[in-house]
Amino acid sequence: KVEDWEVNVRTQYLDELLRLDGRGSFIETDACGVCTKGIGVFRCKICIGGGLRCSTCIVSEHMRMPLHPILKWNGSFFEKTALSALGLRIQLGHDIGTCGHPEPGPCNFLVVDLTGFHRVSINFCACKRNGVVTERYVQLLRTQWFPATFDSPATAFTFDLLDFFHQLTHQAKTNAYDFLCTIQQRTDSTGVEKEIHRYNEFACVVRIWRHLILIKRAGRGHDPSGIEAALAGSCVITCLACPIPGVNLPEGWDSMSVLIIWLFALFLSVDANFKLRLKARGISFFQLGSGWSYSVEDDDYNEVTDSFGEQTEENNCESQHSAIIKANTRNAKGYLASGIAGLVCGRHTLVRPSAFGDLKKGERYCSIDYLLLATLIGAGVKLVFLTYDIACQWVKNFPSRVKKFPARLRRSVKGITLRTAVPKAHIEAHGPSCHSKHSLNTQPYVGRTYGEGVEQQWSHINSVATSTREMGPGARKEVLNDHWNWWNWRKCILFGPHFKKNLEHAISMHEKHHDLFIEFSSTFPKKVVEEWSAMVDTWVADQTKPDPYAEPVVETTMNDIRLQLAKEDDADKARSRTVPHELSPSAFLFNGLQLEEQQRAIRHQVSASSHRTPTQQAELQETRNTLRNRIQIWQTVQDVHMPFVPALRHQNSTASADLSEPITADNPPSASILADNIPLFLPSSLPNNAAGSCESLRKMEYRLRYAQCDDALADIRRLRRVLKNVTYFKAKNITGTGGKANTRARTLYNRFQGRVTKAVEKYRDGRAALEKLDAGGAWANRFQVLNSGDVRGPGMEDGNSFGHFEQSWIWLVPPQQGEPRVDDDTAERYGESVRVEWSKSKARVMRWGEECHLIVEEMRRVLVSLESKAVEWDTRRSSRVAQSADVQDGLAAYAAKQAYHLRELRLRFASLWLPVLHDNESKLSNTVVGCEVDSYTKSVIVALKDLFNFVPPKEMTTDTTKDITKDDEPSSESDNELDNEEELDLD
């Protein structure tokens, strides 16, 4: 802990830091720590130990470490010096042997490293190989120093520096200027030395470095057709889990049943980002590898989109979504681009190839159309599911707009079925007409796709927005493509734990919601469930049919709500009538329960407000006086039916009386007890020794209390529906109209909420009585403990996710008297709200079941894709014949390394996934989605276990088990099986 460090060792730590500024162990000698002959005055800042060396030894030790900073003891302190000043000259161009023709390089050659700026003395090699002298820039590159220019270089940046900056800018989004300033400060933070400015050179070198790493990793150096033959979108890291025909889909996938082929759909998500703007600064448009990766080629993109001219997008949706508004917004003055638009894969959020382009005049449909068509070139899939913030608007005229695009773009969607939806976080901003037709919660065969992955990608890339808007158009695209490449790779290597976690969660949630759905359905007659199920199936097949998910629209006015309140107030007064003297036992108990309810009403009134006017206090006292009189009248009848109660009543009133006042005839003990707290001594509240004296009354009270709980639940459900209507009415008609109207609506809401609270207390009192009358009886299965969190619904509330939503148990109890119903058990008896909740409950279990199947299929595709890429790198080992043997060796080594890492990643993923697949094989092959897809998923699991020779951990033995995570070369037989996809032909 920091506190412990401060108390115990802070001084010692500081002393050790100060000691390093001195000579340390060499304070009593000036001899060199190596040869002991020379004078030791030099120290290396990096080498371990920090011992002093003479000039000869320090140079000898750093022949292969020429960029270590050196310090010299001047008699008082250590000052900086350079190895070049001590006579070190660096010979380039010779890894083996001695150079016979050294040629001095530029004086004070500058090398920029992570350790700082270094002035070094270098010799180039002028020896001829095959009659040719190696170019100076080549000699620098072979030293892993990147020259600032290929013509007469005088400055170089180390590969280590460039690689570190490359990774740092990905992770921390550090810009080149700040990074180079940090290196300058590492060189000299005192301000004594003259600053060295190499920002322009560094920015240029970083552009080239990024481009070289991009094309190297894309295998362009291995292509015999050359770098220039790169196709659009070919220098990218593709999603391993998305479907790629001919790579990771099973044979015959395109002829499979429609009940299975949805597993091979390509999910895409499109959006625009208006933070990634670009200033017009008159900088060159030149871009390295334009159109080769994630951004489309600008010339063609601009030509096609400009041909559409002015577009005005009409908003026919009930929402006022910002994308519609921005679609007609021109770019701000002084900007070349008002933002950028693009697509990612909808389930894994990897950036798609040839999918991003600048926006000149807002979020126009022609820009989105072009990017979608461009990224689908060569996709080869049959089904595409696209999510877009304004999909409900965009998709309407998409077919007619496509006809205006060039044929090469139109062909990309030929034979493709396009389905659309609005992302889950945006669907609530749309009108009710969009909620079912464009919701990922109700659309079939989409699993638990969220559709907001593109927003995550924007969050990542927005960190570079402030720096990229100042760049030239070409450099900006290069930086964005580079960051997207890193984003995609990080996503790919995290697929292992990501899919494992998601599958375990999906299996658990499918089980949970399946049980909840079965429980919910069991509360309705079979024919009602069949009717609702048929309605869902009909709507899925034809969405012009009645929508089973549409919330019932109740035309509620403020006067309607006030009238309902007035009627309920009259009913409350009617129930507070005077109790007659002669009552039957059942009437006596019923009136007792009414008195108990009036007590609850007064207690609720008292707790609702702590500050009352004198008038309100007087009214409260009059109410209590009236209630006391009624209780006293009722007690005279109680004395007849329960003759042992007067003694209990006297005993209780004496114990509860305010003894500060003497007990007299004018001040009996009961007078000091508030009317709403007077115990009524109903049979359920009697002590055990008196309970047996009124067994018949206890049975009567049990029946009344049972009905009381049912009535209370019915009231809670009814009032919660009213509250939902009040909230809906306020949101649609009052919000934004001023404080007065909002205050009135809030007052009405609070009054109904107060009634809910009273109904909750009524239920809890009734249940507590049942517990005393028949502890642990059959009633407990129907009337559960009512916690505050259970009083919710109907439907989801703020903060709930559709897929994780659990209906409160109060809606799972079949309706009883007090709720709308008809004489027979039909769907109308339960109302539209209940039907909607049942439909949504079914949708939940279906989406979780689909998610299970989708994840298993994605796991299979990832494993097949990794092996396919590894095989591709294997073929690249000898695909190109280089001009020199050493380059040929490098080509083979790099290809072998890439193939090795891909197979290691594949084995790691398999080791994470196969145990989960094995343990849940029966669950995954027995979902609610359908027998055909269950069978397919089971065959996938079996094939994967066979492919990796998986043995369950409990069946493993140390003698016979092969650990699939070990570095074992796959057999030639396994290679052939995978190449031919025989093991993965799961049709």
Q: What's the confidence (pLDDT) of residue 953?
A: 77
Percent of the chain with pLDDT over 70: 83
Q: What's the confidence (pLDDT) of residue 963?
A: 43
Whether the pLDDT of residue 852 is over 90: the answer is yes
Residue range 943-954: mean pLDDT, rounded: 89
Listed in sequence order, the DSSP H helices in 62-158 are 136-142
Q: What's the confidence (pLDDT) of residue 695?
A: 81
More confident residue, 662 or 404: 404
- Local confidence band at 783 (pLDDT 50, 70, 90 cut-offs): confident
- Local confidence band at 819 (pLDDT 50, 70, 90 cut-offs): very low
More confident residue, 577 or 46: 46
Burial of residue 573 (number of CB atoms within 10 Å: 0-12, 13-18, 19+): exposed
Q: Which residues are CB-neighbours of 347 under 8 A, at least 6 positions away?
A: 241, 242, 267, 447, 449, 453, 854, 858
Whether the pLDDT of residue 514 is over 80: the answer is yes
- Local confidence band at 676 (pLDDT 50, 70, 90 cut-offs): confident
Q: What's the confidence (pLDDT) of residue 973?
A: 36
- Local confidence band at 490 (pLDDT 50, 70, 90 cut-offs): very high
Q: What's the confidence (pLDDT) of residue 329?
A: 54
| Residue 187, CA atoms < 13 Å, CB-side half-sphere | 23
Burial of residue 202 (number of CB atoms within 10 Å: 0-12, 13-18, 19+): buried
Whether the pLDDT of residue 668 is over 70: the answer is no
Q: pLDDT tens across 63-85, in order?
A: 999 999 999 999 999 999 999 99
| 39-48, 415-424, 452-461, 695-704: least confident range | 695-704
**What are the tokens at 970?**
């796959």
Cα 25 from Cα 79, distance rounded (Å): 18
Q: pLDDT tens across 125-179, in order?
A: 999 888 899 999 999 999 999 999 999 999 999 999 999 999 999 999 999 999 9
Q: What's the confidence (pLDDT) of residue 67?
A: 96
Strand partners, 81: 70
**What are the tokens at 633?**
């009248």
Whether the pLDDT of residue 662 is over 60: the answer is no
C-beta neighbour count of 112 within 10 angstroms: 27
- Local confidence band at 902 (pLDDT 50, 70, 90 cut-offs): very high
Burial of residue 801 (number of CB atoms within 10 Å: 0-12, 13-18, 19+): exposed
More confident residue, 850 or 616: 850
Cα 702 from Cα 334, distance rounded (Å): 80
Does residue 853 contact residue 875 with C-beta atoms inside 8 Å? no
Cα 829 from Cα 837, distance rounded (Å): 14
- Local confidence band at 552 (pLDDT 50, 70, 90 cut-offs): low
Cα 613 from Cα 631, distance rounded (Å): 27
Q: What's the confidence (pLDDT) of residue 347?
A: 96
Strand segments, DSSP code E, in 346-389 are 351-359, 383-388
Strand partners, 90: 122
Residue range 43-56: mean pLDDT, rounded: 92
Q: What's the confidence (pLDDT) of residue 704?
A: 85
Whether the pLDDT of residue 210 is over 70: the answer is yes
Q: What's the confidence (pLDDT) of residue 216?
A: 97
Task: Tell which residue, 854, 973, 776, 682, has the closest CA to residue 241.
Answer: 854
Whether the pLDDT of residue 960 is over 70: the answer is no
Tell me how far CA of residue 333 lies from CA of 277, 280, 323, 336, 361, in angstroms. Answer: 12, 9, 20, 9, 11
H or E element that contains 961: none
Q: Helices 695-733 and 739-773 sit at what angle, rounded to 10 degrees? A: 160
| 31-40, 196-205, 639-648, 834-843: least confident range | 639-648
Q: What's the confidence (pLDDT) of residue 489?
A: 97
- Local confidence band at 821 (pLDDT 50, 70, 90 cut-offs): very low
More confident residue, 81 or 744: 81
C-beta neighbour count of 784 within 10 angstroms: 13
Residue range 467-473: mean pLDDT, rounded: 93
Q: What's the confidence (pLDDT) of residue 720?
A: 80
For the chain, the average pLDDT equals 84
Whether the pLDDT of residue 847 is over 90: the answer is yes
Q: What's the confidence (pLDDT) of residue 663?
A: 38
Does residue 158 contact residue 112 with C-beta atoms inside 8 Å? yes
Q: What's the confidence (pLDDT) of residue 737?
A: 45
Q: pLDDT tens across 7-30, in order?
A: 999 999 999 999 999 999 999 899
More confident residue, 89 or 752: 89
Q: pLDDT tens across 109-118, in order?
A: 999 999 999 9
Q: What's the confidence (pLDDT) of residue 664?
A: 42
More confident residue, 640 or 247: 247
Residue ranges of domains in the chain: 19-88, 251-449, 558-565+585-647+675-811, 849-950
Displacement of CA 851 from its chain's centroid (Å): 15
Does residue 758 contact residue 600 with C-beta atoms inside 8 Å? yes
Residue range 215-231: mean pLDDT, rounded: 95
Q: Determine the residue type at 592.
A: G
Cα 493 from Cα 479, distance rounded (Å): 22
Does residue 712 contact residue 760 with C-beta atoms inside 8 Å? yes
